[in-house]
Structure 1
């Protein structure tokens, strides 16, 4: 008997499309804006039409081949996607610099790359007229040589650095300054100026971005989703959220669509809670999906100390009473770790094509959309 349902947000209630758009724009900005690397070939601007956004996303994520690849490997964070895609292109650029700037390249690979280092690299490229155009189609071939999953996929960048430069480094991780830089740029694009200041407590580095937060796309009619949540609650089922979105990015659209009232605030866990826990327990990092922390925090309650959440023995004794609803392999992996049931929704990036993947993984339920839970549970 199912007593608790924990939902992901993107790919279940809300479309991931705008998250992916913001991710692509972040990579594009980091590589082409004069505030960062400043590569030629693209004129950077924050005033973009929809057709511009579509073109940039197709370019940066190679017609979504890159997104499909990383999600199938268990990477669920848009911040991770920005970091991996940007760092991969940087490694290819450093290959061009290596013959004439070996000492500089080796130093960068040892000390890390932040905003100042990006500008330093860009200055060398422009001053010396070095020709470099990002080739995003190389991502999947370069990462296909590893069978790594989850956060280990990110560390494959360190393997590439050693293979290509003979430099042993551990700089390509979530502790890398470039990761935090990508996170900040993503937040600027996704939130827009006003919400960014509210969320981050500072002004954006590059103002003028409208943001996507108030233009979310629900994956079913909001009134039908509300009816489903109401009926589940009437059966005595406790409802929670475990999402890779930060708190603000969860609260705003849920309030707009009227979903918030069906979830107890103490059972809504977001990336904001993940970041706090990682700061408190760096030795346990990373804690984001596919690690089970997000769903465990939602299950136990946000008032429960993080140490207890992290150290709760898994799989759970009563795990089969808990259903996790998500669209990604990362959600499935988290459910497996917890010993919970899993319902896959086919409203994520791959759409209906994801059915065969979840059939192979033997998901407990596979639903065309979240509304089909009604037929499964009610």
Structure 2
């Protein structure tokens, strides 16, 4: 799949101001020239001689708010914008004529009709002002956009004038072509007009607004952004309502044309040629924006109208108007809208309402945005709020990174998916399950050692395919229909109809504890400091502490007190104050626990290792045949300390319900927090009582895994002197660094304080939450 971005020009790269000036000059000439309507009866029409005069005349009849209103309503082409102004003025001037006999049917492009119209105008000298024009919010116009809006001018004219008007003011009508031709005269000037069309303009002496064009942003910034995209592997194209000459000339002048691929440039010239070919076949179609054809032709040069659309997200469109958004969406492209073309509040509101996939301030933000949309972390985040968009991005990701052209993608967001996502995709009749783990500050190059687990005796689902690049881990599995232990535990805990019993779950836990002990004994081996430092499991603990996650979550952040939300407690204060939990003063502050964890969890140390899953919480475990654990998603599997291997399942399977269902847990969470400023102490009262099913799992794990594991390690001289500090420091990381406890979008402040309480409490090796850890003494 080709990485392709198609850019609109005006309002994105090139400024539209001189086009707007041109449109206003056309209307000014029509209104005041003796050749046309001559509403004030002047003897001659004096052409402006400077760009300042051009702007002043244009603004007097076609102010920017009116232009922005048309753009906001998907009137994209500057010719169409000009023509909309023409229709509004024509209707207004006609409405002021007391006698319109002989003027119907309207033929406003015909010189004879124009002469008759001019004669009637001379008798009245109508008032001409933009303020008199029918507003775009008029009931006959409101709610319409693009070509539909242009078609409403005949309805408006019929209503205002009391005569049926049809087949006169439509798009591409003779009067539309009159406006287009005048537009080209004003925009190109004499020399370029003759060069482009081969005959002189009707009114010579026009300066040519093209000569005063300016880029929308500094050229250096534009070039840097476009070069950045090319460095990311994107091919750049253009889709513009400008004619080819007007589109390419300024890009050539700015030195930017060379960055775009010729075969991916589509202008109004190519669109008009296709429309002409269709008319010769008896098919009258308008293919200009917001029709998707220009975008599709730019992305796929061989594309023809009516052919099947590409898969959603096959290319990206960068535009600035609702017309761009509508056309991109109709062509199944992803759309990044820039705000630079929406210069009024109304235009900005309508642009946002049009539903672009992403919205950025200007084109210089596009390189960062496309990096994000190609980032699995973006998909993980969007799966909860904008699932359809996340699925589109993932379908695109599969094609770009794994050459998988899947027919459909279905994400299955779950509470357990705190740093991961999973789901199903289909190719033909075959369905597959996929999963990935996302680490925003990931530093390790390889994950997913399922084969290693299988070889040493784990019951693990082997992937049919995997991608193991840093930041791009993805594992594809055959579809497994067994229930997931996470769901079974939740059913039991919440009193829902369950597929199993507590006794079955406890029996399965015991069976797995016994198997783990056997595997640990069979695979125990020493590792050098260098070998141990390369273990993926450190990503879950030490790298989260030091690699940026701790800082990004909490530095310079505050958490409100649950009962006094106006009182924000900074993280630095939370770290520095002593903690008193249920009346018992904790030995170390949170800050001291973090410092100690940074030291004792440091990967560069010689260690005794075993082969372990590393992240075997119940979200990664099926219950096979109702009695045996079946692992998947071995993102952090490998050789590492057994002291770390047991930590994630210990915490998440027993203590972490609040983390997955924070808003559901809050109403029944009886935790009180008081910050005692005089004693520099945080006082917490909380009942740590566990649900019966989780208490049963904890008892089983202590009896059949933790206690015998520690005793065995001690007996073979493999238990380090600082084993307590290691395990409790790793436990500290689980509530503190799995998710951001200060993120009010993910959890209420009360649950954030609960997470901090668990972090401080489990981080202290003196506490008896896990009594069997303390029961083993080193001789």
With structure 2 as the length reference, what TM-score do the two structures score? 0.45
2:56 corresponds to 1:55:
yes
Counterpart-to-counterpart distance in 2, 1:54 and 1:206: 19
Higher-Rg structure is: 2
C-alpha displacement at 1:350, in angstroms? 1.2
Instruction: Give yes or no for contact 1:358–1:366 (8 Å, CA) kept in 2.
Output: no
* 1:277-303 Cα shifts (integer Å, max 9, x gaps): 2222243432111111211111112xx
Name 1:256's counterpart in structure 2: 253
Deviates further, 170-179 or 150-159: 170-179
C-alpha displacement at 1:179, in angstroms? 0.7
Instruction: Name the SS for the 2:79 alignment partner.
Output: helix
* 1:116-149 Cα shifts (integer Å, max 9, x gaps): 42233113333xx222122322334266212222
Aligned pair count reads: 364
C-alpha displacement at 1:349, in angstroms? 4.4
Q: Which one has a larger percent helix, Structure 1 or Structure 2?
A: 1
Instruction: Give yes or no for contact 2:72–2:347 (8 Å, CA) kept in 1.
Output: no
Instruction: Name the SS for the 1:209 alignment partner.
Output: coil
Counterpart-to-counterpart distance in 1, 2:314 and 2:175: 41
Counterpart-to-counterpart distance in 1, 2:33 and 2:153: 23
Q: Which one has a larger percent strand, Structure 1 or Structure 2?
A: 2
Instruction: Name the SS for the 1:366 alignment partner.
Output: strand
Name 1:334's counterpart in structure 2: 327
Instruction: Name the SS for the 1:137 alignment partner.
Output: helix
Name 1:136's counterpart in structure 2: 130
Counterpart-to-counterpart distance in 2, 1:53 and 1:186: 13
What are the equivalent positions in structure 2 for 1:1-378 lying under 5 Å apart? 3-40=3-40, 44-61=45-62, 63-97=63-97, 99-102=98-101, 104-107=102-105, 109=106, 111=107, 113-126=109-122, 129-141=123-135, 144-145=138-139, 146=141, 147-163=143-159, 164-282=161-279, 283-301=283-301, 304=302, 308-314=303-309, 316-317=310-311, 319-350=312-343, 354-378=347-371
Instruction: Give yes or no for contact 2:321–2:351 (8 Å, CA) kept in 1.
Output: no
Counterpart-to-counterpart distance in 2, 1:82 and 1:268: 24
* 1:189-222 Cα shifts (integer Å, max 9, x gaps): 1111111111122111111111122322112221
Instruction: Give yes or no for contact 2:190–2:208 (8 Å, CA) kept in 1.
Output: yes
Counterpart-to-counterpart distance in 2, 1:324 and 1:45: 42
Counterpart-to-counterpart distance in 2, 1:69 and 1:354: 6
C-alpha displacement at 1:152, in angstroms? 1.2
C-alpha displacement at 1:21, in angstroms? 0.3
After TM superposition, the runs of 4+ consecutive aligned structure 1 residues lying more than 6 A away are none
Instruction: Name the SS for the 1:14 alignment partner.
Output: coil
C-alpha displacement at 1:352, in angstroms? 8.0
Instruction: Name the SS for the 2:74 alignment partner.
Output: coil
Counterpart-to-counterpart distance in 2, 1:285 and 1:185: 24
Instruction: Give yes or no for contact 2:238–2:266 (8 Å, CA) kept in 1.
Output: yes
Counterpart-to-counterpart distance in 2, 1:37 and 1:57: 17
Counterpart-to-counterpart distance in 2, 1:372 and 1:352: 21
Query: Relative to structure 1, is the Cα distance of residues 101 and 369 closer, same or farther in structure 2, using a 3 angstrom cutoff?
Result: closer
Counterpart-to-counterpart distance in 2, 1:72 and 1:38: 31
**Gaps in structure 1 of 5+ consecutive residues:** none
Instruction: Name the SS for the 1:105 alignment partner.
Output: coil
Counterpart-to-counterpart distance in 1, 2:266 and 2:38: 37
C-alpha displacement at 1:327, in angstroms? 0.7
**Gaps in structure 2 of 5+ consecutive residues:** 372-779
Counterpart-to-counterpart distance in 2, 1:363 and 1:374: 17
Query: Relative to structure 1, is the Cα distance of residues 71 and 209 closer, same or farther in structure 2, using a 3 angstrom cutoff?
Result: same
C-alpha displacement at 1:355, in angstroms? 4.7
Name 2:646's counterpart in structure 1: none
Cα RMSD (Å): 2.2
Query: Relative to structure 1, is the Cα distance of residues 106 and 50 closer, same or farther in structure 2, using a 3 angstrom cutoff?
Result: same
